[in-house]
Copies of this chain bind each other. A is one copy, B any other.
Amino acid sequence: MGGNSFGNIFKITTFGESHGEALGVVVDGMPAGITVDRELLDKEMARRRPGQSQLTTTRQENDQVEIVSGIMDGLSTGTPIAMLIRNNNQHSKDYSDIARIFRPGHADFGYYSKYGIRDHRGGGRSSGRETCARVAAGALAKMFLKSFGIEIRAWAKEIAGIRAETFDIDEIEKNPARSPDKAAAEKMVKAIADARSTGDSVGGIVCCRATSVPPGWGEPVFDKLDARLAYAMLSLGSVKGIEFGDGFASAGSFGSENNDPMLPGNKFAANHAGGILGGISTGAEILFTLAVKPTPSISMEQTTVDVDGNPRQITIAGRHDPCIVPRIIPVVEAMTAIVLADFALMQRCAKIQQ
């Protein structure tokens, strides 16, 4: 229970806020004997870090991960792996003016209603910074999933209404938008820069794909693979929707079009399903798409109220991402890995003969 743990066997518990001492994660259920690839961990953390491109915030963050338990001689021991990430360079003064005001589009009013406390310190538990912990845990999950040959990639399908029309997988990490279409990337970068200069923000759409997932993963009826992926992705701030395979487009199709015929070798002639049927992986490529709303922190003036109920105009200072899409991509991959790691372990318990 509680909202701070996720998963059944491969389970992560995160803690910390953007303006506390540190944040971190405890990963439970990492099987013993896995090589802990420190380079992969650091690389994943770097992908998430702002300042990796001209598009993201200038807020400096150091995300050195300290592994404090669960490893011996470079291998997982089977005991919980705890990782700490210290909070540096978070200027509290950036936020003090809004201490008593509810920022539109944020969780401020929700948290205040829930706990009776307005924790104004940079978003607290609701800030984007807690995704550090998820990325660290996702790196461990990726290390485990290597044994299956599973690959997970996410990319920007659309930013500020500009769509990627072509797909070059190597282009994704070469441009700041993380678009697989170089030409579209340039336009996306420009649109984000324009938003920054007007003090506004833009949204987008993220696609994520997992290949080589064996068939049979998923725990009906409630812990279906797509249900759990949805649970994972909607727990990311700013995600407002998810669809699998053809998603909303399937609503307007016929069954004769939407059903994926099967071929010898247990292959599929098409993949409208997005790799999941009845909540269980089919062996086809898993594909889903996320709606990411524009960053709520904008510097344009907004109308709101304060904790005393007075109408207020607010201008949010500080350094904020004009678009969350490029930065959420490694987090989406991390959450996908975390979910798949859990289902891989649950599948070990499905049959008498493994």
Contacts and interface: CB of A to CB of B under 8 A. Distances in A.
A240 B243 contact: yes
Interface in A245-275: 245-248, 250-266, 269, 273-274
Given A110-B216, A240-B243, A293-B250, A116 B1 contact: no
A176 interface: no
The complex is assembled from copies of this chain, and their number is 4
B278 A110 contact: yes
Interface string A197-227: 0001111110000000011111111111011
Interface size classification for chain A: 35 or more
A69 interface: yes
B250 A68 contact: no
Given A107-B220, A113-B283, A222-B6, A264 B66 contact: no
Interface string A113-136: 111110101001110001000000
B31 A4 contact: no
A9 interface: yes
B227 A125 contact: no
A251 B105 contact: no
A277 interface: yes
A113 B280 contact: yes
Contact of A258 (B105, B228, B278): B105
A277 B126 CA distance: 10
Contacts of A77: 115, 117, 119, 124-125
